[in-house]
Amino acid sequence: MLSGSRLAIDRALENFLAAAYNELTTIDSQLTSIGGALSEFLIGGKRLRPLFAIAGFLGAGGSPDDEGIYKAAVSLELLQACALIHDDMMDGSDTRRGAPSMHRRFERSHRERHGVGDSESFGHATALLIGDLALVWSTQALNLSGLSLTQLQAVNPIFDIMRVELMAGQYLDMHGGSRNEMTIDDALKIATYKSGKYTIERPLHFGAALSGAGEDFLPIYTEYGIPLGIAFQMRDDLLGVFGDSSVTGKPAGDDLIEGKRTALIAYAQQNLATNELNEFVKLFGQKSLTLDEINALRELIQRSGAVDFIEKLIEEKTILALSAIKDPKISRSGREFLSELAIKATQRSA
């Protein structure tokens, strides 16, 4: 079911992008580069948010033969593209999925063609606009998906609050990076809004709304979505520190270089000895970290017990999520799909 749904989402996304690209480039041929860059950016990705929307739809009694749900779910992948492009700019990330991040791509393009003005500023401004374009296209994809007026009226409030929560989570994450320290509870709240709601809970609500399910489905999906979303983000946090760059597509120890204040980091700082904490604080968030210094930070995190704490948290949250979908209101096929997605979200290397 997972692979078939992924193919259907990819097909719907390709069809939407082809039409949107053609519409954009009729304005001016100079827009070919940004339309092409966004289309290329969308080739990769795990498609988790659309997949959770499909699972929410099927679990609430929707038919897998309904093509409209796949077209509608494309909007969530476009929203994710907006978030990632802007996130890379805010974090100063040079790469995404093993390729130059969007702002670096257009910075290099400006430099190579000897454009007038500052190449870095041009790259950031262009990436900002491309991220905004992805946001606009996400709404367009939903409106052009062939949904009935009743379906659109049901899903639009969920899509609206999802976007609000995403922006809120992004700001809380950015603001957290400006603080000297953060509690584990604060880090988990950011994980809930940046990932738990946006990645899993709201896409499930999105799918349930399109199926015509009553509001009694939403609390069930929340009980599954929030803990699993936190587990998903905790896995992401571990990969941001210990992930293999050839698999993640990001530099080794990227979160250590960026100074990301996650639950992993919060636990480490609270449990390191004073001399170890001083060493950690001296290196953490330094943009010019060497591999030896990254490894020193990794060792301190390991020594603090933070990795074991996060792994246990992932396991506990995943068990909570899987318990929630035992509810008999969820269809058998939906339950199987949600179980499969839980594994995909939490047991991954990228």
Q: What is the pLDDT of residue 348?
A: 81
Task: State the pLDDT at residue 238.
Answer: 95
Per-residue pLDDT band for 74 (boundaries 50, 70, 90) equals very high
User: For residue 69, what pLDDT is reported?
Assistant: 96
Higher pLDDT, 26 or 1: 26
Domain 2-346 CATH superfamily: Farnesyl Diphosphate Synthase (1.10.600.10)
Hey, what amino acid is at 6? R
Question: 180 and 218 in contact (C-beta within 8 Å)?
Answer: no
Q: Provide the pLDDT for residue 81.
A: 96
The pLDDT tens digits of the residues spanning 109-162 come to: 999 999 999 999 999 999 999 999 999 999 999 999 999 999 999 999 999 999
Cα separation values, 124 from 25, 84, 134, Å: 21, 13, 15
pTM of the model: 0.93
Q: Look up residue 3 and give its two tokens.
A: 């692979």
Per-residue confidence band for 177, with pLDDT thresholds at 50, 70 and 90: confident
Angle at CA of residue 230, ends 55 and 327, nearest 5°: 45
Measuring CA to CA, how many Å separate 94 from each of 5, 63, 100, 259, 288? 32, 42, 6, 15, 13
Distances (CA, A) of 19 to 14, 24, 41: 9, 9, 17
% of the chain at pLDDT higher than 90: 82
Distances 283 to 20, 100, 256 between C-alpha atoms, Å: 45, 25, 9
pLDDT at 32: 95
What pLDDT does residue 45 have?
84
Q: Is the pLDDT of residue 204 over 90?
A: yes
- What's residue 248's pLDDT? 81
Q: What is the mean pLDDT of the chain?
A: 93
Domain boundaries, the chain: 2-346
What is the band of 174 on the pLDDT scale with cuts at 50, 70, 90? confident
* pLDDT of 93 over the 80 cut: yes
User: How far is the first Cα of the chain from the last one, in angstroms, to the nearest whole number?
Assistant: 21
Each residue's pLDDT tens digit, 11-57: 999 999 999 999 999 999 999 999 999 999 998 789 999 999 999 99
Distance of CA 9 to the CA centre of its chain: 17
CA distances from 111 to 92, 114, 191, 253 (A): 18, 5, 37, 28
- Whether the predicted pLDDT of 1 surpasses 80: no
Query: From CA 53, how far away is CA 50, in angstroms rounded?
Result: 5
Q: How far is CA 348 from the centre of its chain?
A: 14
- Rounded to an integer, the average pLDDT of 280-299 is 95
The single-letter DSSP state of residue 99 is: E
- The arithmetic mean of pLDDT across residues 326-348, rounded, is 94
* Range list of H helices, 92-216: 102-112, 119-143, 149-177, 184-191, 202-211
96's enclosing H/E stretch is: strand 95-96
Query: Buried b / exposed e across 182-214, counting CB within 10 Å, b at 16+?
Result: bebebbbbbbbbbbbbbbbbbbbbbbbbbbebe
Q: Which residue has the tokens 């409030």?
A: 157
H and E: helices and strands count for the chain? 17, 2
Q: Which of 269, 262, 254 lies closest to 301, judged by CA?
A: 269
Going by pLDDT thresholds of 50, 70 and 90, the confidence category of residue 307 is very high
Span 217-235, pLDDT tens digits = 899 999 999 999 999 999 9
C-alpha R_g of the chain: 21
